Amino acid sequence: MQNRKLKIGIVVGEVSGDTLGVELMQRFRDLGIDAEFEGIGGPQMIAAGFHSLYPMETLAVMGIVEVLKDLKQLFAVRNGLIERWQKAPVDVFIGIDAPDFNLRVSKKIKEQHLPIKTVQYVSPSVWAWRQNRVYGIKRSIDLVMCLFPFEKAFYQKYQVPAIFVGHPLAKQLPLQQQTQQARAALNLNADGKYIALLPGSRRGEVERLAPLVFSAGQILAQKHPQYQFLVPAINEQRKQQISHILQGYPQEFRDRVQLLENHYTESKVGRMVMEASDIVALASGTATLEAMLLHRPMVTFYKLHWLTYRIAKLLVKIPYFSLPNIIAGKKVIEELVQDQATPQRLATEIEKLMDVERAQIQVMQHLSMHKQLISGDTQDPAKAILALLESSPEHSHS
C-alpha cells in the first residue's frame, strides 16, 4: 500500500455496527496499515482511537414516525459529514449497517464527485423487499460487503460489486453444542427436558405473541408432563409484562414455566435459554439466526397487524421469512405466519420435534449452514477495501 497515511471514514448506528467497526479497525492495523478513522462510532471504536464527530445515538431511531421527528437532525448530521469531507476527503467511506442513513451519505458523495470510494458493510435487505433499491445502490456504492452468501449472488445478478465476508455471530458461536454449560449456568437440571418459548423482546411483540406461544405451551404441558418451559426476559419491564400475561394461565402450567432474567453482561439470556433447551419456539427475527447457529431444533412464528401484513405481502419478494430458510434456499424449519400461527398448530409443530430423528435432521442442516457462513469462501473485509483503493489512481474518480 502507498506510504501515505490512509484516512478512513466509518459511520455506525448501533451496538452491532460498533462491534463490526472496531474489528475492521483492528484488521487494518493487523495488516500494518497506517490509518486514521473518523465519522460516527460507538464506545468500542472510540476506545480504539476512532474520532467520532457525532454521538452514535443520533442515528439510533427506529420506526417511520420516529424518524420523521428527527429528520432535520439526521440531515444536519449528514450534511456536516459531507462538508467536512469536501474540505478534507477521506480515502474511503464505509457505512456499516444503518442503510437508510449510510446510503444517503454515499449518494451525496457520488453526486458531488468527491474523490472518495464508497463501501456498504452489511447489505440492506433489498433481496427481500423494495428490490428496486438495488439500482440506487449500484449508482452510489463501489463495494457491498455481505454477511450471507445468497446476498452476494443477488447483487451479481445486477452487476453490483459485492463480496461475501461471513457473519460475525457465526464466527463467534462455537461449532460444538454447549447445552450442559448453559444448563449449569442457569441452574437447570442436567437431564431435564426443556422447551424454550420466546415471544420476542419488544413490548408490542410480547403483547401480540406471548398469548400464542404460552397457549401452545399449555396444550403441550397437558400431553407431555416430562417437559418444562423456559422463557427469557431481557429486562425488568419485559419480566413484569410476561409475568402479568402468565397470570392468565392455569396454575399447573405456570408451575412448569421458568421465567429467566438477564443477569449476564456478555451473553444474552435469550441465547442461554435457547442453548439450554431441547426445542425452541421463537418469534421470527435475528434470534432465528442465533438459534440456527446454536444448532437447536426450532419452530418460528409471527403475527403482524393485518394491514401491515397485507402491505408486507405486496412488497416482499421471497418465499420464506426466516433466515435459516432464506440461507438454505429451502424449508429447513417450520414458519407459521399470521392465520397459520395458532396455538394448536404451533403445539403440533413443536411436538413433531420431540421425535429425536426428526430433530437431528434439522440440527445437521443448521450445522452445515453454520460451517458455510464461516467457510473459506469468505473474503477479508479490510483486504477487499485496500484492493478497491489500489484499483484506482489516487485522486481519480468516475
Write out pLDDT tens, residues 87-101: 999 999 999 998 989
| Contact assessment for residue 241 and residue 216, using Cβ atoms and an 8 Å cutoff | no
Name the more confident of 129 and 360: 360
In degrees and rounded to multiples of 5, residue 173 shows phi and psi of -90, 135
| Contact assessment for residue 10 and residue 51, using Cβ atoms and an 8 Å cutoff | no
Amino acid at 378: T
The DSSP code sequence of 17-64 is: HHHHHHHHHHHHHHTT--EEEEEE--HHHHHTT-EESS-GGGG---SH
Average predicted confidence (pLDDT) for the chain: 90
So what's the pLDDT on residue 58? 82
CATH ID of 6-166+378-390, from 3.40.50.2000, 1.20.810.10, 3.40.50.300, 3.40.50.1100: 3.40.50.2000
So what's the pLDDT on residue 261? 86
| Contact assessment for residue 301 and residue 333, using Cβ atoms and an 8 Å cutoff | no
Mean pLDDT of 177-193: 94
Write out pLDDT tens, residues 245-265: 999 999 999 999 999 987 654
- Give the SS3 label for residue 130: coil
Q: How far apart are the first and last CA of the chain?
A: 22
User: The C-alpha cell of 355 is what?
Assistant: 421425535
So what's the pLDDT on residue 396? 41
Task: Kindly list the distances between the CA atom of residue 334 and the CA atoms of 16, 126, 238, 323, 340, in Å, as whole numbers in the listed order.
Answer: 28, 24, 26, 12, 11
Mean pLDDT of 198-225: 93
CATH 3.40.50.2000 residue ranges of the chain are: 6-166+378-390, 179-373
Cite the beta strand spans of 44-199 per DSSP E: 51-52, 92-96, 117-121, 143-146, 162-164, 193-198
Q: Which residues does residue 94 pair with via DSSP β-bridges, in sequence order?
A: 10, 119
- The kind and range of the H/E element at 86 are helix 64-87
So what's the pLDDT on residue 375? 85
Which candidate, 185, 168, 204, 197, places its Cα nearest to that of 270?
A: 197
| Contact assessment for residue 11 and residue 95, using Cβ atoms and an 8 Å cutoff | yes
Which candidate, 46, 21, 87, 45, places its Cα nearest to that of 385?
A: 21
User: The C-alpha cell of 31 is what?
Assistant: 495488516
Q: What CATH fold (topology level) applies to the domain 179-373?
A: Rossmann fold (3.40.50)
Amino acid at 329: G
CB neighbour burial string for 201-220, b if at least 16 within 10 angstroms, e if fewer: beeebbebbbebbbbbbbbb
pLDDT tops 90 at residue 312: no
Write out pLDDT tens, residues 344-398: 999 999 999 999 999 999 999 999 999 999 987 899 999 999 999 998 765 443 3
Mean pLDDT of 2-26: 89
| Contact assessment for residue 182 and residue 275, using Cβ atoms and an 8 Å cutoff | yes
- The kind and range of the H/E element at 300 are strand 298-302
CB neighbour burial string for 159-186, b if at least 16 within 10 angstroms, e if fewer: ebebbbbbbbbbeebeeeeebeebbeeb
Predicted model pTM: 0.81
Write out pLDDT tens, residues 26-83: 999 999 999 999 999 999 999 999 999 999 888 865 445 555 667 888 899 999 999 9
Residue with cell 454521538: 55
Which candidate, 365, 210, 378, places its Cα nearest to that of 301?
A: 210
What angle is formed at CA 81 by the lines to CA 76 and CA 86, rounded to 5 degrees? Answer: 120
